[in-house]
Structure 1
Amino acid sequence: MVDVKTDRQSEQEAAAAARAAERTGERQAKIALLRKPGGIAEADEPSRVATRIARLGGYHPDLRPVSPAAIAAGDPAAMTAAGAILERIAGTNDLLGVGYLEGGVTASAAVGRVHIRNGQGRLVGYGTGSLVSPDLLLTNHHVLPDAGAAGFSVIEFGYQDGIDGLPRPVRAFPLDPDRFFAADRELDFALVAVKATADELRPFGFNRLIGSEGKAIVGDFVTIVQHPGGRKKQVALRENRVVDVLDEFLHYETDTEPGSSGSPVFNDQWEIVALHHASVPAAGHAEYGEFLNEGIRVSKLLKFLREQPLEPAQRALLDRLRAEPATGRIDPDYSDREGYDPAFLPGHTVPLPGLSDALAGLAAINREATGEPRYVLPYHHFSVVMHRERRLAMFTAVNIDGRTSRSLRRETDHWSLDPRVAVTEQIGEEIYRANPLDRGHLVRRLDPAWGATEPIAQQGNDDTFHFTNCSPQHKDFNQNKTTWAGLEDYVLNNADNFDLKVSVVTGPVLATGDDPYRGVQLPRQFWKVVAMVRSDGTLSATAYLLSQEELIHGLEAAAEFSYGAYRTYQVPVRRIAELTDLSFGALEAADPLAGLESTSRIQEIRTAEDVVL
């Protein structure tokens, strides 16, 4: 075995030791808080604690967010709630769901042993690296300090024992710095392409780098998958706990052998939170075990990479690296959500529907809003306005660009509450348990999934998995392949649609007579208004209505849902305005049915060809 410590590695360890010494007092205070019942909610900054809880909600739909302001103010109820959540999920014992093991098997497959070689092909040392995209490998700068060293070196996957105790087959691939190489001495990372085909690397998968905050706070346990000293792959389980969060680094205590250079550091959800790079002997510091480990925070690595000038081909590879996972996990940093664009359709402005004074008084307030109206919740490519008493959307509004739309695969659903709205003003998981109700998307999953790159489209896809964007719908209503589901597609792809763009406003009819179920009045009807620009430059707006009244009739009293027929109708836009008390402005005049004398004269839609545009 070859195990060589470079001068640069020694420098990194010395710098880590200095940072550890500087923060001894702060670290000891945090460790003392972690020993208190519920103290995990006090050991990190309030905003970080609240963001961590919000991110955990993507994995645990039953979680309710806790107000950062309430945590910052030390509100007893908020602190108790935050402590209970974090103690249950982050945990103070070693009990974990078995899904943790399944996730570990998948995550560890992408971790390999780096053979560090010189120009003569001689082995001079080992490190650890992880695939973080279909093409790119992440390790330390002191493992691969430059493109030349990377060009001589090799990544080896599968160097481990199987469940039978016998060695697994290994696969080794050269690295390809000519295709991509980026590194930084101070952040101690190197990112390099692997010289292999997609089919060759696909069996190992990859662990995405996620720039969002909330992946780890003080008190979280982390897991290190590693090739310590170049030996077979090993896992440090429950022996590492975050004890300090610096601007660029995480510190985590351990009583085990330090992880090897370049190892990915995972949270309990198997998200990479840091790149391990240094371990400091901690004799005489029992408060954080025998060693203090240091890793570079993933968010800082991604920020550095975003700022680098790259050729288009390299930028495309980097965009694949930064994509969020296709699992509906939602970025808890809402500051970059631009929402619905009224000027999206070429040559026309289509504002959000107007609320009557009565409706405006019932709209839930976006607690992070910086402008008016404060009741709008912006997401990627769409917006939502909530009814605070009904706890459902008054309406949603989405822009759809058929030219750059992407057909993203649907993975396991992870629905989340929106922390910008009070938990008492939105319906969560509780209404959907043990019954035939579906979480019915109002903005369809793929409607906002468009953009110049897949990561941009993925953000729109993921944002549709907010509870604010769904309404209880009987499974037969939601899942049946009806013309309702294809209306946006038909209008979008109509030959007379200029620029292949549409804007769609959708919502439930919130009638006073809707029947209650588990404290929620279930809407019987849903509506949508679809706007496009014809090839002659004129605006066209069409409205549609669909009822599930027979499907939910008698739900409260009966053990099973009743089933009945339902139909899709094209109706005048003004009919939707009457039903909802919303105003649609110029869209009413742009309606091809506007000339009908009576709103009772409606057009049943049996096939898409029945639509009047």
Structure 2
Amino acid sequence: MTSLPHRDAVEKRVHEREDERHRKIALLAEPWGIARADDPGRVATRIDRLSRTRPDVRPVSPVAIARGEEDALRDAGTVLERIIRTDDLLGVGYLEGGVRAAKAVGRVSIRDDRGRLQGYGTGSLVSPELLLTNHHVLGDPAVAASSVVEFDYQDGADGLPLPVKLFALDPGRFFAADPGLDFALVAVRATAADLAVFGFNRLVEAEGKAIVGDFVTIVQHPGGERKQIALRENRIVDVLELFLHYETDTEPGSSGSPVFNDQWEIVALHHASVPAPQQGELGGVVNEGVRVSRLAAALRTRAFPPGQQALLSAVFGEPAPVTAAPVTEAIRIDPDYSDRGGYDPDFLAGHRIPLPALSPDLVPLAAVNRQAAAEPKYVLPYHHFSVVLNKQRRLAFFTAVNIDGTTSAKLRRETDNWSFDPRVPQEEQTGEEVYADNPLDRGHLVRRLDPAWGATREVAKSANDDTFHFTNCTPQHEDFNQNKTTWAGLEDYVLENADNRDLRVNVYTGPVLAADDDQYRGVRLPRQFFKVVAMVRWDGSLSATGYLLSQEQLLQGLEVAPAEFDYGAYRTFQVPVRRIEGLTGLSFGALTDADPLGQRETTTTIAKEVGRPEDLVL
């Protein structure tokens, strides 16, 4: 069903990339070539994504891969060869996952307004009620309204046809399409309960699902035939900005088929196969699919009425937006992020203090704010604070908050209600799953009340509520998080008792993300946290002090016996800011020279234990 202009565009892309495809295919045949056949950042992200289900996999630096460092290429190549370029001895879970994924795939019968059959396509449920296919299959709501989807149009294990379940489509309830990305998302005329038996294949927004050299599987209705599967022996040979090119067996009627990786995540929406006579190793055909991350990003940019937005939210695994009037004191996240000013570098009088800078090795690991209006695009601004998120660790690199002691509001803490930030893929954030049935707390990095200030109570409340984003959260042992410690009172002491000229401070906080942090439920748990506090003294000079706190002893035994923890001692240390830079890869710029402890000591390894606020060197 590919239209001529659409096919022309695909053929043009395939022709233009011919030399690049040959180069990548040649690299795949070389030792560790799979680590060099794609963008270094994408390779590193793919390895990180694999590590979430494979505890034996460790991250690899994309900068080291880009530099061609032999150790990095060997490590990356070894991991990818072992997992992706396997000898096809896969666990039976691969087949079980395939059965579940294929259940949600149906044949789309394209009909005109008189009910006459015009052709076939393939579609997949990507939420409890929405079906994804190509725009050239369902080009507009009128075509969708006349067409149907048929599930279980396939043979059973005994070789006999299964009873077919047919449903009309309901574009009046939801229809979104994009000719350029060639997708159509439409509601099925059925309840979620009616469709539950088929399951659905959720769209994963995060990158790292596939790279050049990955094998893919396509579940399809070729030529409108019974459901078939092009099983795994199909290789990605090129990754474009919006599309994937791969080898596989497809025919007309396969348009709209989901393209899966070995973990049964949809990596692309298949939409065309075109001749490539010079590509003999691909059978003279190159297939193209739309990258799911780009498709999802396009959907994110659109505004829908509340009822349709609720249906779309389910595609991304998010709760439906709340339309009822909220209780005045309840945690409420404003869905319009355009007015978040974020951290103010000019907040301290007479001193401009930019956000901490990421080292070159860390920049490719930063999650990108897809709504960013300014550089760097990895900064997530909130009311009075900002967060920079590590997309591999799914935790913050750091947070930065401005605190105004003169207009602060002491807001009562209501029931916690944590939210994902829609500006970043959910899979790049750590959500509720890591906190269930264990002594781990959702630990604020920016304290709830730190940004809660402003000219009105409403301004302070909005900032207070913004701290309940998972981007500002890190797993912390409950004994660490809930006890009153010197750590918990550092900001208050600097505001109220130090030589602070205008009762203002900047605070930079984050976990120390060590390579050997232990993994728990797919998240590596930080053992230490840092804090840097900056203020202006009465004489106008800048003071910046650094602190470390460890929960390492508290985390012992978490994997073995979640109900029994070693409640070891935790201690707060004041350390030179330069030491925090060395541990984190961050650069605090002028704050290192404003550190009184650093000025007193000639070494960056000194640590001064803080037992009470009076022990601080400010």
TM-score by length of 2: 0.58
Give the 3-state SS of the residue equivalent to 1:443 in structure 2.
Answer: strand
Q: Select 1:81's aligned residue among 75, 79, 94.
A: 75
Give the 3-state SS of the residue equivalent to 1:12 in structure 2.
Answer: helix
Q: Select 1:143's aligned residue among 128, 137, 145.
A: 137
For 1:36-435, what aligned pairs fall within 5 Å after superposition? Answer: 36-254=30-248, 260-323=254-317, 367-368=362-363, 378=389, 383=396, 402=414, 405=417
Per the TM alignment, residue 281 of structure 1 is displaced from its structure 2 partner at its CA by: 3.1
* Alpha carbons 1:39, 1:83 under 8 Å: kept: yes
Per the TM alignment, residue 159 of structure 1 is displaced from its structure 2 partner at its CA by: 1.2
Per the TM alignment, residue 462 of structure 1 is displaced from its structure 2 partner at its CA by: 9.4
* Alpha carbons 1:121, 1:152 under 8 Å: kept: yes
Residues 172 and 404 (structure 1 numbering): CA distance in 2 closer, same or farther, change over 3 Å?
farther
Which residue pairs with 1:29 in the alignment?
Answer: 23
Residues 460 and 63 (structure 1 numbering): CA distance in 2 closer, same or farther, change over 3 Å?
farther
CA distance in 2, matches of 1:78, 1:403: 46
Per the TM alignment, residue 322 of structure 1 is displaced from its structure 2 partner at its CA by: 2.8
Give the 3-state SS of the residue equivalent to 1:293 in structure 2.
Answer: strand
CA distance in 1, matches of 2:33, 2:68: 12
Deviations, residues 275-326 of structure 1 (Å, cap 9, x unaligned): 101111344521322421111111221222223343232223222223389x
Counterpart code for 1:240: N
Residues 122 and 440 (structure 1 numbering): CA distance in 2 closer, same or farther, change over 3 Å?
same
* Alpha carbons 1:550, 1:563 under 8 Å: kept: no
* Alpha carbons 2:429, 2:470 under 8 Å: kept: no
Which residue pairs with 2:442 in the alignment?
Answer: 443
* Alpha carbons 2:112, 2:147 under 8 Å: kept: yes
Deviations, residues 571-590 of structure 1 (Å, cap 9, x unaligned): xxxxx8x755599xxxxxxx
Per the TM alignment, residue 120 of structure 1 is displaced from its structure 2 partner at its CA by: 1.1
CA distance in 1, matches of 2:296, 2:554: 52
* Alpha carbons 1:256, 1:291 under 8 Å: kept: no
Per the TM alignment, residue 377 of structure 1 is displaced from its structure 2 partner at its CA by: 6.8
CA distance in 1, matches of 2:64, 2:566: 48
Per the TM alignment, residue 239 of structure 1 is displaced from its structure 2 partner at its CA by: 2.9
Counterpart code for 2:246: Y
* Alpha carbons 1:223, 1:240 under 8 Å: kept: yes
* Alpha carbons 1:209, 1:322 under 8 Å: kept: yes
CA distance in 1, matches of 2:297, 2:528: 46
Give the 3-state SS of the residue equivalent to 1:208 in structure 2.
Answer: coil
Residues 86 and 439 (structure 1 numbering): CA distance in 2 closer, same or farther, change over 3 Å?
farther
* Alpha carbons 1:259, 1:279 under 8 Å: kept: no
Deviations, residues 183-210 of structure 1 (Å, cap 9, x unaligned): 1222211111111111111111111112
Deviations, residues 26-58 of structure 1 (Å, cap 9, x unaligned): 111111111112111111111211121122222
Deviations, residues 96-123 of structure 1 (Å, cap 9, x unaligned): 2222112111111111111111111122
CA distance in 2, matches of 1:400, 1:293: 58
CA distance in 2, matches of 1:484, 1:127: 54
Counterpart code for 1:153: S
Compute the RMSD of aligned alpha carbons. Answer: 5.4
* Alpha carbons 1:176, 1:195 under 8 Å: kept: yes
Deviations, residues 446-491 of structure 1 (Å, cap 9, x unaligned): x99xxxxxxx99x966997xxxx568x8xxxx9xxx999999xxxx
Counterpart code for 1:214: G
Residues 563 and 9 (structure 1 numbering): CA distance in 2 closer, same or farther, change over 3 Å?
closer
Residues 150 and 35 (structure 1 numbering): CA distance in 2 closer, same or farther, change over 3 Å?
same
Which has the larger displacement, 19-28 or 310-319? 310-319
Residues 406 and 400 (structure 1 numbering): CA distance in 2 closer, same or farther, change over 3 Å?
farther
Per the TM alignment, residue 566 of structure 1 is displaced from its structure 2 partner at its CA by: 7.5
* Alpha carbons 2:553, 2:566 under 8 Å: kept: no
CA distance in 1, matches of 2:21, 2:177: 30
CA distance in 2, matches of 1:160, 1:134: 21
Counterpart code for 2:258: P
Residues 216 and 567 (structure 1 numbering): CA distance in 2 closer, same or farther, change over 3 Å?
closer
* Alpha carbons 2:396, 2:511 under 8 Å: kept: no
Residues 152 and 32 (structure 1 numbering): CA distance in 2 closer, same or farther, change over 3 Å?
same
* Alpha carbons 2:223, 2:254 under 8 Å: kept: yes
Aligned-residue sequence identity (percent) comes to 53
CA distance in 2, matches of 1:69, 1:229: 45
Per the TM alignment, residue 145 of structure 1 is displaced from its structure 2 partner at its CA by: 0.7
* Alpha carbons 1:133, 1:208 under 8 Å: kept: yes
Deviations, residues 184-240 of structure 1 (Å, cap 9, x unaligned): 222211111111111111111111112222111111111101111111111111231
Give the 3-state SS of the residue equivalent to 1:240 in structure 2.
Answer: coil
Residues 404 and 122 (structure 1 numbering): CA distance in 2 closer, same or farther, change over 3 Å?
farther
* Alpha carbons 2:109, 2:148 under 8 Å: kept: yes
For 1:508-587, what aligned pairs fall within 5 Å after superposition? Answer: none
CA distance in 1, matches of 2:238, 2:526: 48
Give the 3-state SS of the residue equivalent to 2:264 in structure 1.
Answer: coil
Count of residues in Structure 1 that have an aligned counterpart in Structure 2 = 439
Residues 523 and 383 (structure 1 numbering): CA distance in 2 closer, same or farther, change over 3 Å?
closer
CA distance in 2, matches of 1:60, 1:43: 23
* Alpha carbons 2:396, 2:472 under 8 Å: kept: no
Residues 416 and 93 (structure 1 numbering): CA distance in 2 closer, same or farther, change over 3 Å?
farther
CA distance in 2, matches of 1:93, 1:169: 36
* Contiguous gaps of at least 5 residues in structure 2: 320-336, 349-355, 367-375, 380-386, 400-410, 421-425, 431-436, 448-464, 485-508, 513-524, 530-548, 577-610, 613-618
Counterpart code for 1:12: H
Counterpart code for 1:243: V
Residues 222 and 506 (structure 1 numbering): CA distance in 2 closer, same or farther, change over 3 Å?
closer
CA distance in 2, matches of 1:565, 1:46: 40
* Alpha carbons 2:174, 2:187 under 8 Å: kept: yes
